[in-house]
Structure formats: structure tokens, C-alpha cells
Structure 1
């Protein structure tokens, strides 16, 4: 179910809040923790009203220490709680890498499979549109793909984000849940009743015949816009991975085999990034069906600038996705 843009409906911000409210209400072992998540409602207003509804013991603030937020959550998860920790920006995840990589991700293995770590870390990827400069604009979901024991999930559409977050909170594995600051105001019609979306399953957001575009977060919406604009000239299938770890290679490869041409668009650095990983897995599984190597649209090896024109030049947009599509042979 793709988003309809900024029309009437539920915003992604509201959908995340609803998911958190529903899970707090459903399971008393769930609690929220982070910087300014209580009375302030979080830096993007995601957790507004939750402290009032559930009190100090279920929704509470921490000092400015990402290590303490993630480390304490990992320990609490071992003892039966289901913490949902908020890290304000993905850029700040670097401060908690040790707790993620050497603690949360390894506990189940180190305890011989008898321990579970049901914790969720919510954080937000950046983008050019907010002009938040180099330390608040990175998209870092790819950083954690090489760390065993973790699940890496992306909020791409309003519908998926709510359902995936609820599944993440119910998972017995540590989940890193990446939202996107430029998608919080997007709106779409979603079911009023509670629902979940399974982790590890991709979604075909638009069917097509000539080329597959695999895209995440804001790039997904750019890809859908491009597909609509060139429909009738080139038939574009758009696939949303939704979960990068584990990656639904089967769905991606099936689409690639049907169309024979693939573009992967991801708002991360291309060198060693998730776009490169996804492209390699598709080529591995669909090699003899491809008319050309998989094309990658991403960020060059550079920080995201503060200057709006420079940021727009660094972070790919719809024109970059369309150019990559048109550059494929036999189109």
C-alpha cells in the first residue's frame, strides 16, 4: 500500500505514535526511553501524549548519553522487558555502536540461544530537504548490515511503517528501526484497526514490465513519481525492500527476472553501502536474466552539505533515478 502524498489521511508521524500507543497498551513489558521523549514528545513530536497516557515508568527521559540509552535497553531486554529506545538522529548511533554490535547483537549467541533481546531502537535518517548539515543528515542503515544478530528495518510508507514498527516491538531480536525525517508529514489512508506487517518481506509497490527499481524511504517515493511520469514510454516496476536484514532476496530477484533490468536507489553512500549490497544479491540470484549490470543511485563519498544547492547536488532525487532508468540498454 503506497502513500498518496500529502492529502487527507494519517501522517507517518501519527502512524508511528499510534503504533507505540497500541503496543504500550497491549503489553506492559513495553516502555519508551530516550532524550526528550516524555513531556516534550521527542524532537520530531513522535511521542507526544504517550507520557501523559502511560506515566513516568513507561515513558521517560534519559541524560544525553546514547551509550546509556542503548546499553540499558539491552540489559532490560535480557530480563524480560521490551524497551523501545529513541536515538534522535541516525548520526548519533555512532556513539552506541559498541552497545549495538558487541552487546545487543551478540547476547543470544553468547548465551547459547537461551537468551532473547527484544529491544527496538528507533532513529531517523536525514536528507537534503531539512538542510541539517553533515552531523544530522546521514542515512546510516547500511552501517549495521555487517553486524550479526540484528534486524534492520526501514519505514518507507505510512502503512508499512506502522505495521513494521509493531512487528519490531514484538520481535525477540534487537531491531534497528530507521525512519526518515522528510517522510514524517506524508499522509495516507491506513486501517483504523490494529495490524502488523511481517519483518523480512519486500513489497511490490507498482507493477511494471521493462525495468525494476528497488528503492528505500524517500527514494521509494521518488521512484513511484518517476514511474508515473514516464508511464506509457517505459513500464517501471517499483519494489520496496522494507527490511534490509534479513533481505527478501526472493522477491527482488523474481522482479529482476521478469524485467531484466534493475536500478537500486538508496539515500546512502554507494561505496560499501546498502545499495551495493542489494545490487550484488540481485545479480547473484538473477544473473542470467539480466540485460545489463544493476545500476546504483546513491550518495557519493562525501558528507551532506548544509548549503541547500550543494545538498541537492549530493543527495539523489527523481531526476537521478530517471536518468539511471533511461541509461539502461534496450530501453
Structure 2
């Protein structure tokens, strides 16, 4: 039976790959991204949905968690050869190098700029991970988690496989239990006047697809459990600058929960208030989503190594707050 190649590239034949011990618990889509280097995520979802990918002979979903020893059927896929799509632009390379806020032997943390995708694909040539790999071609770098393209702030990249495995387990613990794995804190400007104190939103979220394959998330009884806590830090210009702590990490969670309580995130062109966004753009120059991943807190080595990582509020968002009266 075929095994994982240290530098896998697809051929013109179907491959059958055994999941090794250190990949146990990994999602199928993330496993395939590692096997099909350079494949856009849209392609990964397409071959999974069409049934071309099989796990132990049966169809599986992108979010399926793999177990050691599982046999994954990977169809032949045409990918660009290394060097075909060039290199990241110098401006992006410089921005990514300047974004590093923490580094040790096993982790790298950056403050991702708004507008930069976590990874390439769907018309995006280079995201965070491709650019970091171009900056450090001799290092093994893997995304621990993702941020929406329009969200700025803290992202963690693993430099060691052991750190990646442990952090992914903590992420699953956060999503499945009650947020004990990793403490996640965001900063957001919400439209309108939120009430004083902390507002907890416990509303399940379901991911749907619109025409063209665009993901759209909504509160739905059949969705996954999702829990967010919104706390007003101060009020500016009739709006609410908030700290948001999330106990689960669902797609677009903060944005949809904010919309659900009638106070959408400022600058959100998917779930937000069109008129509010227009006024903020004209009056204070808000040209992006006002959502920033501010900090992550977790422990590795079974609790012996504690991390509290911070990313300062993006300068353009500080400017918006300064202009709001």
C-alpha cells in the first residue's frame, strides 16, 4: 500500500495513502491540502463532494476526522509544477516579514493584515502560508488555523509537527467542549448601541452554499453549537467597540452572531448593514471589516508551556476609532 511521500506531488494515477499516527484526528480537507501541495481549497472540496476521494472505500465529508491507518483514495489532479506560478510580490513578502509578532523553536505568530488570505486558491495566488514558505524555504511551516481574508490579527503557524498536532487537538477541544482548549479574544466595532455588560450569544451555525459556491453562514437549529460573548469596551459615534470572546471557532461565527443580535460588525459587506457601512466609509474612512483577532492563550506540553500571544489593533482600525466621536 502506498504511504505518505515526504514531498507528495500527484501523478496521473489514483493514489491510496495510509494515514500515519501523527495525522490522527486531522480533518480530511487539511490532510488533502498536505498531499496535494498547491491545490486550491475549492478544488479539494470539489473532489471530496464528487466522491472522487474515498476513506476506507466509502464517501466522506471534508470535515471528516481521520484515524491512524485509514486508507484515503486520492484521485489524479493536475497541479502547477513548482515555479510555474512565480513568487509572491516583494510587497507581500515584506509585509509578511514585518507582521511577525512572536517566534520560538516550535511556533511562529503573525499579525495578519486585512485582505491577505490564509492560503492561496480560488484566484488567490499567494496567501499567508505560501508567502511564509517563500520567505523561509528551508523550514517546515504549517497553518494551525485560519482567519477570514478580511479579518486582521493573530495567526499561529507551527514549525514542528508535534506542535501542530497538539494545537489542532486543543482547537478541537475548544470546538467540542466549552472553549477550554484555546482562549480566543477579538476586537470589533459593532453597529449601534450594544447594552452594557456582557451579552452571550448561544446560537447554532449552519454553513450553506450560494450560487457560485460562495459560503453563507446562518443561525439554524440544525447547525453546529456556537457560543460567543460580546462586551462593550466603549462607545464611539453611536456604535459599540467591543471585546469578543468565542468558545467555538465556527466559520464567520462572530460576524453572524453579531448580525443575529442586530448589531452587525462594521464594514462587513456580507452580513452587515449597507447604510451603516456607507456612512462609516464616508465619514471616518472605514474601508474594511472592523474585526481583529487580538489574542490567543493556550498551553502546550500537557500544560507545562503556557502561551499568551497578542497582536495589536491594526493601525487603520486605530485611525477609525480616533475619528469616531
Higher relative contact order (CA 8 A, sep 6+): 1
Q: Using structure 2 for the length normalisation, give the TM-score.
A: 0.28
Larger radius of gyration: 2
Choose between structure 1 and 2: higher strand proportion: 2
Q: Using structure 1 for the length normalisation, give the TM-score.
A: 0.28
